Amino acid sequence: MSADSSARGRIRLLALDADGTLVGPDGVVRPAVKEAVAMAQDQGLLVVVCTGRRYRTARPILEELDLDGPVVVHNGVVVKNARTGETTEQHFLPDEFFAPVMEIMGDLGPPLVYVDRYFDGIDLYAEPSDRCHEFQAEYLESNPNVVHEVESVAALPTGSVVMISSMADSESLLTLKGRIEGQFGDRVQTNYIMNTNYRGHILEVTRAGVSKWTALAKICEGLGIAPSEIAAIGDDTNDIEMIINAGMGIAMGNAVDEVKRVADYETESNARDGVARAIERLLR
């Protein structure tokens, strides 16, 4: 679709990725971006953050932007109320996939096992950091307050797991991704994304058919908002489905090439207030 100014009258919802999009390279929401998001809300747009972050680490962004509607976290596996943290939608990894996925991912060291237990102060389970890939160890050592350390993540009870993930170098993770897809096909969902705040990349395994877009589409269906009335901005491969299906899909200047190829247009990078520039163009 054309990204001309006539699109403004059709857009009712603005879907924004967090890392690499809303957040600058320094990990901060830049003042111009914050002002532009406030302007979009003042003009009646519903702003929905759609992120791979867990809710706890997304919450400071949500509070800074004064958002109180839905927020999509864990790449669509969980939807919460941005203000209260109450879960409105969640998708657990089917029990039958837990052990075999853990066995494959365990070849790179014990993976991280995520649950939706925000109010209990637990976001994920992990084994001691000295057993993990060094990139994952750095993450664990930086997030001790919400990591529940166990002797064996493979021995955890199934039924409440929303995601299994590993952090490592790209070559190792792509090898694991190929093995998982070779064994399970489309029966599970894999996400291979940049680790914006730490070294390397992240490989996630979740329930099949769950993504930022599926979560966002369900939110919009409940609100009577059509896909053509959505503008979506992102930078990584986990944003592609959202950008393709939105009425207006916008790639950040720092986006990977796969995102730029499917977007309606490219804005500035997250170091140059790209989200602010895109919102200004949208609201003309």
Report residue 146's pLDDT band, with 50, 70 and 90 as the boundaries.
Answer: confident
Give the mean pLDDT of 157-162. 93
* Domains recognised in the chain with CATH numbers: 5-90+211-282 (3.40.50.1000), 95-207 (3.30.1240.10)
What are the structure tokens assigned to 136, written together? Answer: 């994952």
Would you state the pLDDT for residue 3? 44
The 10s digit of each residue's pLDDT in 18-65 is 999 999 999 999 999 999 999 999 999 999 999 999 999 999 999 999
Query: Cα separations (Å) of 182 from 107, 108, 165, 177, 202?
Result: 16, 17, 17, 8, 19
Report residue 9's pLDDT band, with 50, 70 and 90 as the boundaries.
Answer: low
d(CA 79, CA 63): 16
- With CA atoms as reference, report the closest residue to 204 among 141, 112, 87: 112
This prediction has a pTM of 0.91
Q: How many CB atoms lie within 10 A of CB 171?
A: 9
Indicate the pairing of strand 248-251 with strand 265-266.
parallel
The 10s digit of each residue's pLDDT in 71-121 is 999 999 999 999 999 999 999 999 999 999 999 999 999 999 999 999 999
Q: How many CB atoms lie within 10 A of CB 119?
A: 9
List the strands of the sheet with 46-49, edge to edge.
46-49, 13-16, 230-234, 248-251, 265-266
Q: How many CB atoms lie within 10 A of CB 26?
A: 9
Helix 274-282, helix 31-42: angle, nearest 10: 30
Helices (H), 65-211: 95-105, 134-142, 170-184
